[in-house]
């Protein structure tokens, strides 16, 4: 926000055990004007937010992604996160098309690059959706479950 002439808004969910600390950090950094706090919302509303976003930031501490990453990817959004690549390599034939960033400096570098090269990130979002369709579509997941159950019952 401070380094860009662009009008940037960060939409954050007003939820979680670190909410008070997050709000205090936004105040300390002097970026409150650029933050939009939203309450927890129904899935259709959340999907509208994904679709209105340019880029989505998800997990940075857990080492794994959750539904936010997959849903944003399904909406053709570039996602920035930190995940254990070896876990993904063990589960999928190809790693997901996301922006890997583990440190504050790496996250900041990705966001600065995004501002300079938005088309590159739109292309990444398109590839992310294709990845989700190959590895996490409802038919793929259902078939994996069926294969598993067949292996158990014979």
State the pLDDT at residue 149.
94
> What mean pLDDT is predicted for residues 29-57?
94
pLDDT band at 63; cut points 50, 70, 90: confident
> What mean pLDDT is predicted for residues 100-112?
93
What predicted TM-score, i.e. pTM, was given to this entire model? 0.86
What is the CB neighbour count within 10 angstroms for residue 75?
Answer: 21
95: Cα within 13 Å, side-chain hemisphere: 13
Helix axes 43-52, 67-74, angle to 10 degrees: 60
Per-residue pLDDT at 8 exceeds 80? yes
State the pLDDT at residue 3.
73
Identify the helix (H) or strand (E) that includes residue 13: strand 10-13
pLDDT band at 121; cut points 50, 70, 90: very high
State the pLDDT at residue 85.
87
């Amino acid at each position: 926000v401070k380094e860009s002439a662009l009008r940037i808004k960060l939409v954050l969910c007003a939820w979680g055990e670190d909410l008070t600390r997050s709000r205090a950090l936004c105040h300390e950094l002097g970026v409150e004007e650029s933050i939009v706090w939203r309450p927890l919302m129904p899935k259709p509303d959340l999907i509208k937010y994904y679709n209105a976003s340019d880029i989505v930031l998800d997990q940075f501490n857990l080492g794994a992604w959750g539904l936010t990453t997959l849903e944003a990817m399904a909406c053709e959004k570039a996602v920035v996160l930190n995940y254990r690549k070896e876990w993904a390599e063990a589960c999928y034939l190809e790693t997901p098309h996301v922006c890997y960033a583990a440190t504050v400096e790496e996250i900041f570098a990705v966001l600065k690059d995004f501002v300079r090269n938005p088309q590159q990130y739109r292309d990444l979002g398109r590839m992310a959706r294709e990845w989700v369709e190959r590895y996490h579509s409802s038919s793929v997941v259902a078939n994996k479950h069926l294969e598993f159950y067949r292996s158990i019952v014979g």
